Structure 1
């Protein structure tokens, strides 16, 4: 895992100091080494910060070139099938100087051009400069596990793993992309290709971008989960067997490393399964890491009991940490720095602390369990939404309109039920992703008159609509559950859940890997019908059937509990006082929110929604004002 950056300067006036400054804002992503490449004509500069994972020698340092220096790459991530590809390339006459996965990409590009990305199995974001064609490619992995950002003007392109590296250039102006801000209020994050910074974009997952020698910028989607799917039949025994076999292979493949590894272990099905499969074949105890909270909370109960059960089951070297609201408050400024733009999920806090715990115990790489719930119907509220969606399909529009008017009369038009009924009436999907913050009605109430007027003809459905069109054009099964998985694969996972993992883990120089989101496993999971996944209305029905006997039944049959933060209780502690002071001061000095509406949120004690606003305000104060 590393940090990458670069500059393309069509004026051929690239300054080495600027490139180094960009690169070294990301020391946390790569504390083990650094490098730069600048072309002779000072048009192209590539930078790299290195976290050593595979081939720890200096032969694997980056930026890296081919033999004659006509191709240069700066790469972040891991290619899990690089050894197989390497053997094939050697058979074709390619000569390697290192044992790294980075070099494999260069030689594979020599064989296949940019289509080489279709052969790569892994998580990655890389920039490849083709000196012969004078073309730059930026590439993000299929799922969007690794980020890459860019800013392009008429004569310069800046790109980097983190926005702060781009902002290290004083010529980059800082202002809020207010459409992106409006969408942030819906999704807790900014949907690609926008960021909250006007003029700075992020490449969506499964896309590459090309900048040619004439300055033309083009992007292409090279992968969609439905591209290579063959729908499964309903033979549950066969499906269950294949799920276990393919997940076992994914976990094993993701173990490639020349440095110590571990596993995040919450005690739920996904992390327990991950840790159990990871431990198979290991000669020494696997290091596992759990996080919890000091004290008892109504909204969240520690899961140490179940994590310890699995630790004992696999004989792991287990480590635990409990945190408090004081830990959140002491970390919050650093959190805003490492996030670059708000990721308004409070789980960022425990992810940081469990990552720090792992690093303090000499682990450099950890496997995590993200993705399983989205693939196998694992969320409690998804069951409720699925039932509601099925019922609404049979209700005439005039009945829906009456229902909306009734909710308006009793002043419940800000409620998510109202919003979903409105969406159904307007022939929109009622599910806009697994992390919805404010409804359209709520946003209209909390925004300032200026912003309310500006966004009067805009809806966050415009973000959803493009994803929906892709789904309808590509999907093999037009069902509610298939849509729910598809939109989260395209929005919530890459831009929220995976970014909280990337940013918080890399803050302490820890690489995180997500075997449930191995693209081949994702394709297999998405080939299973809604009917099979939701049999007996049991969450994760087919996954549970697949793993029965692999992990203890006590884990499989326990009540579902998501990994969360007692943010509501902490709001009534020190967090509420501090957030109110900062938010209200922000409202006095800026023109984003209606101060009376914000005051009502505090009066009602809506801690979660205040947290979303607090994240934005902290970001604004750090990155725009300062």
Structure 2
């Protein structure tokens, strides 16, 4: 997706338009749109004429809940209407209010020729990317930063973004790695009209009021929402999808639900499964994979992952990314995507996000006590004291969440003085043990999932170049709102976690997976990667650029890297931050003229 509107006659668009498909010139304005298959897997019409109005619409993504929208528009349920055309009809009828009716994973632009109005919008969870730049009387937007850089090159690196990136996982906020290129945020829309730009949120995450007396009612509600989410994401032009099967609860639940939907729909969908298996004992999940295949009489394409260690990637690829990103696990992460593409399947349903939205911990006990729910507190305390020491529960999970202030700490290898201007409270990620399970911290936690779990970058840099679209049944706005509202005790029990999905899908899951309490461990791929790719890592691990900029203590980072090279795994919790620093050092290595 690429579009531009030039509000000044001083700019000649003929100098910058490449492979243009549509161009409009009116009243001193120049406008062009381009749809690229690199970023839009299913490009649809651009020019739409409705009732004497003419709109130019670019859509990247999918509009869900179409039956409801057809009712809003009084359309025949059997009428064939593309998602792009549906957006145009909604806009014509409801003007700027139309975004409030949209559901799905999408980013789109509308150029209203009659009103000289540009609209950019992005889905509530931020699954699809949309960037823009305002420069010299022009607005340029695209689903990829590199397209904008072709039109407005030599943008300076954004030092504030770099600092934030070193402190924590990248955040899908407005700022990008470049000073004059911005990200449209999740649930946000932008309107450019009469020379003025206005931005607003049409959606912000909220916790609904949901209270049932019986657990079974929560299970039924979850089941309905999960089925709806999976069903929406099965829709493709050829009804073919793939689902990675790891043997974990999340991926198995998606496959189980998809198979049951398929049965209801008279086997409408062609569903393929792909599994990565390991000979390394701690990562071997074959017995769980086998249980799913036997229950649903499935066959899975098997690929082996023991040799796909971290850093098994051409580091030049990291230099060429639009923004810095630690894509060191590319070899493993691309396995099932590439296998699906070889089978001419372009849509993959992934379990990404399941661990996050189904998470709960014992800190909810502190909230029970704080709210004066003494009977519930004592009841739950009796359950948990058989699993954990009583003094630990009383201090760490009851009193600390009530009285302790959130700890906001710098990684030890960063030069603190260079980050003195950073407000650490704006960094969204908090350690799970910091959650207090009140409405404020639950909302903040789910906003972290929306903005900081990496799907925006992963899709740009891994799945899109392969030619595959990843879809996320667990990152569904209605499902997420529901799970933010349910009591934590429906997510965590002494016997196992993810209680609500296990019980809701109990009839669908093999007993081996329903009762599973372990999780595959792939950390050996990190230390193995340091060992196998050490010579290439040492080209950058002195962190010359970041040290000269005063951001890091290069010697301390080197000590961590050398320990991991020797096979130590006890401090791998620091690996995420240090791999971000390494990715940033590599990314900056050919950009020193714009730092």
TM-score tier, shorter chain, comes to 0.7 to 0.9
Residue 555 of structure 2 corresponds to residue 596 of structure 1:
yes
Residue 91 of structure 2 corresponds to residue 109 of structure 1:
yes
3-state SS, counterpart of residue 326 of structure 2: coil
Counterparts of 1:19-58 in structure 2, within 5 Å, are 19-20=17-18, 35-40=21-26, 41-50=28-37
CA distance in 1, matches of 2:337, 2:593: 30
- In structure 2, the CA distance between the partners of 1:500 and 1:267, relative to structure 1 (3 Å rule), is farther
Deviation, structure 1 residue 536: 4.3
Equivalent residue for 1:383?
Answer: 361
Is the Cα contact below 8 Å between 1:7 and 1:14 reproduced in 2? no
3-state SS, counterpart of residue 453 of structure 2: helix
Give deviations 1:49-95, integer Å, cap 9, x for gaps.
Answer: 247999x7x9x333655464532211100012235424642549x99
Residue 46 of structure 2 corresponds to residue 62 of structure 1:
yes
Q: 1:557 aligns with which of 515, 534, 539?
A: 515
Q: 1:455 aligns with which of 398, 419, 429?
A: 419
- Unaligned 5+ residue runs, structure 1? 24-34, 395-419, 433-438, 468-477
Counterparts of 1:227-306 in structure 2, within 5 Å, are 229-259=208-238, 260-280=240-260, 281=263, 282=267, 286-293=271-278, 296=280, 301-306=283-288
CA distance in 2, matches of 1:497, 1:194: 15
Give the TM-score of the pair, scaled to structure 1: 0.77
Give deviations 1:428-470, integer Å, cap 9, x for gaps.
Answer: 545x8xxxxxx4152xx433xxxx43422423213449x9xxx
- In structure 2, the CA distance between the partners of 1:441 and 1:317, relative to structure 1 (3 Å rule), is closer
Residue 578 of structure 2 corresponds to residue 610 of structure 1:
yes
Is the Cα contact below 8 Å between 1:338 and 1:507 reproduced in 2? no
CA distance in 2, matches of 1:45, 1:550: 50
Equivalent residue for 2:69?
Answer: 85
Give the TM-score of the pair, scaled to structure 2: 0.80
CA distance in 1, matches of 2:410, 2:227: 42
Equivalent residue for 2:474?
Answer: 516
Q: 1:174 aligns with which of 139, 144, 155?
A: 155
How many residues get paired? 545
3-state SS, counterpart of residue 552 of structure 2: coil
Q: 1:486 aligns with which of 430, 443, 454?
A: 443
Is the Cα contact below 8 Å between 2:474 and 2:480 reproduced in 1? yes
- In structure 2, the CA distance between the partners of 1:565 and 1:311, relative to structure 1 (3 Å rule), is farther
Deviation, structure 1 residue 221: 1.4
CA distance in 2, matches of 1:500, 1:332: 18
Equivalent residue for 1:474?
Answer: none
Is the Cα contact below 8 Å between 2:324 and 2:587 reproduced in 1? yes
CA distance in 2, matches of 1:287, 1:178: 44
Deviation, structure 1 residue 123: 0.3
CA distance in 2, matches of 1:183, 1:65: 44
CA distance in 2, matches of 1:333, 1:120: 40
Deviation, structure 1 residue 270: 1.1
CA distance in 2, matches of 1:51, 1:82: 26
Deviation, structure 1 residue 257: 1.7
- In structure 2, the CA distance between the partners of 1:561 and 1:70, relative to structure 1 (3 Å rule), is same
Give deviations 1:170-228, integer Å, cap 9, x for gaps.
Answer: x33333322222221232213411222222221221111222222x322211112316x
CA distance in 1, matches of 2:219, 2:320: 40
- Unaligned 5+ residue runs, structure 2? 373-396, 565-570
CA distance in 2, matches of 1:611, 1:495: 16
CA distance in 2, matches of 1:599, 1:455: 21
Equivalent residue for 1:440?
Answer: 410
Residue 182 of structure 2 corresponds to residue 197 of structure 1:
no
- In structure 2, the CA distance between the partners of 1:389 and 1:89, relative to structure 1 (3 Å rule), is closer
Is the Cα contact below 8 Å between 1:125 and 1:148 reproduced in 2? yes
Deviation, structure 1 residue 137: 1.5
Residue 104 of structure 2 corresponds to residue 126 of structure 1:
no
3-state SS, counterpart of residue 304 of structure 2: strand
- In structure 2, the CA distance between the partners of 1:231 and 1:87, relative to structure 1 (3 Å rule), is closer
- In structure 2, the CA distance between the partners of 1:560 and 1:499, relative to structure 1 (3 Å rule), is farther
Counterparts of 1:384-533 in structure 2, within 5 Å, are 428-430=405-407, 439-442=409-412, 445-447=413-415, 452-464=416-428, 479-480=436-437, 485-503=442-460, 504-533=462-491
Is the Cα contact below 8 Å between 1:188 and 1:343 reproduced in 2? no
Q: 1:223 aligns with which of 173, 185, 203?
A: 203
- In structure 2, the CA distance between the partners of 1:118 and 1:245, relative to structure 1 (3 Å rule), is same
Equivalent residue for 2:332?
Answer: 350
- In structure 2, the CA distance between the partners of 1:561 and 1:67, relative to structure 1 (3 Å rule), is farther
Deviation, structure 1 residue 385: 6.8
Equivalent residue for 1:470?
Answer: none
Q: CA RMSD in A?
A: 3.7
CA distance in 1, matches of 2:364, 2:330: 28
